Amino acid sequence: MFRSGLSRFSRFRGRRARFEHGPQDGAGLDTRLNALCDEARAMGLNTPQALLEYLDARGLDTALPRLTNCLTALSRAEGPLAPDQFGADLPLDSLDLLERAVGDRLAIPDFAHFCHRVSGFFSYARDNRRGQIADYIPELAHQDEDGFGLALCSIDGQRFNLGEAQTGFCLQSVVKPLNYALALALNGESLVHTHVGREPSGRRFNELALDPDGRPHNPMINAGAIMCAALIRPAQSVEARAELVRRFVLSAAGGAGCTLDEAVYRSELETAARNRSLVNMMDEHDAFPPGTDTKAALDLYFRTCALTLDCDALSVVAAMLANGGVCPVTGHRVIDPGIVRHTLSLMLTCGMYDYSGEFAFTVGLPAKSGVSGGLMIVIPGVGGFGLWSPRLDRQGNSVRGVEFCQRLIEDYPFHIFAGVASE
């Protein structure tokens, strides 16, 4: 089983992400559609229904916006499989995806087997009832401590989920990589890193500490994330800035619901002493850009931590990062590839609190956890997972989340350095 997992994925090591596509070329399209139907028929997929079942078994269905129109057209078609059954104006991007599916070149090959294995890791992790729910933000203590959801999205938009994958939860620190990416997009690397470092702190996420240059150590801890918030359109109102971030998260998640959890936001405002201390410390060391409204920066930080997604949507965010910044669900570019690279580098080195070094060593994947029990796991060039389970270990990571990652990496060569050790 282990070997087969390895060999099925080894050909995908070092693969490049899928990028946006240009306008379709009519003549080429007809030829390719004919070839697609020939290939499908050669595999015994003689009817539109047989092709739909084949795609469904590979995690592709009408819920994927890139395929909705053509799969709906196919579902209404009758008779033997033919090029005119794929609907009018089939986008090139959808045709590419269908070709990869029929040619067995999807990001996750043998999807049914992979999902079966993932279900096993999920069950294993579910049996783990260790850890404590975070209660220092009073509203978080109301979470269902036994809740557990998991969702997968590949860079081809193959989807699968388990448990409470459609239960919304507040992102907390899981939003930090996105705030950092947005701050980079708006200000550029040089300005952002004048004000925030890129070194693991080796301290608690809310420690009152700055680096030797008087900056927060990195954007994945509270001080650094408050700094990133300060750099997001500082001239605008907090409401407008929060809406900008919400829309950014929404596009990263492929348009699935992202709302502000007002109760969590209020709860954080009322218990903000430590985060206010971080702001005062940074102020004292002139860490903020001149003229920063630090109260507004902290307010924006809280609002972004209180944004909610479910595991399904979070897996799309992870897959967008795995895909170099193009959302695999919509096909839209959300983040430039250079910014994705910076973001993933910091998730790898700093994304798992004081367990980041250990996690990079043992699991070897860029990830970000939050005190609500959320966890985003990126498998570059393959896809991503969104996970939620609120019981935390002493470092603040979801106990089941870490357990799941460890099981996953035992069976699949996803560690970013797995390639150097494969025969």
Query: What are the residues whose beta carbons fall under 8 Å from the beta carbon of 256, sequence distance 6 or more?
Result: 250, 309, 310, 312, 313, 316
Q: What length is written for the chain?
A: 423
Residue 302 CB, nearest distance to ligand GLU (Å)? 7
Q: Residues touching ligand GLU: how many (CB under 6 A)?
A: 10
Report the residue from 222, 308, 330, 349 that binds ligand GLU according to the rule CB under 6 A: 222
305 is a contact residue toward ligand GLU (CB under 6 A): yes
Query: What are the residues whose beta carbons fall under 8 Å from the beta carbon of 192, sequence distance 6 or more?
Result: 180, 183, 184, 228, 231
Residue 175 CB, nearest distance to ligand GLU (Å)? 9
131 is a contact residue toward ligand GLU (CB under 6 A): no
Residue 237 CB, nearest distance to ligand GLU (Å)? 21
The CA distance from 90 to 98, in Å, is 11
The CA distance from 226 to 68, in Å, is 40
Binding mask 37-76 for ligand GLU (x = CB under 6 A): ----------------------------------------
85 is a contact residue toward ligand GLU (CB under 6 A): no
206 is a contact residue toward ligand GLU (CB under 6 A): yes
| Positions 227 through 256 that interact with ligand GLU (CB under 6 A) | none
Structure tokens belonging to residue 360: 């990079």
268 is a contact residue toward ligand GLU (CB under 6 A): yes
Provide the 8-state DSSP code for 374.
E
Binding mask 139-178 for ligand GLU (x = CB under 6 A): ---------------------------------xx-----
102 or 392, CB closer to ligand GLU?
392
Binding mask 349-388 for ligand GLU (x = CB under 6 A): ---------------------xx-----------------
H helical segments located in 238-388: 238-252, 262-270, 273-284, 294-305, 311-322, 337-350, 356-362
265 is a contact residue toward ligand GLU (CB under 6 A): no
Structure tokens belonging to residue 181: 């990416």
Long-range Cβ pairs for the range 108-111 (8 Å, 24+): 108/59, 108/152, 108/154, 108/156, 108/158, 108/382, 108/383, 109/8, 109/9, 109/12, 110/8, 111/57, 111/58, 111/59, 111/158, 111/160
Residue 222 CB, nearest distance to ligand GLU (Å)? 5
**Positions that interact with ligand GLU (CB under 6 A):** 172-173, 205-206, 222, 268, 275, 305, 370-371
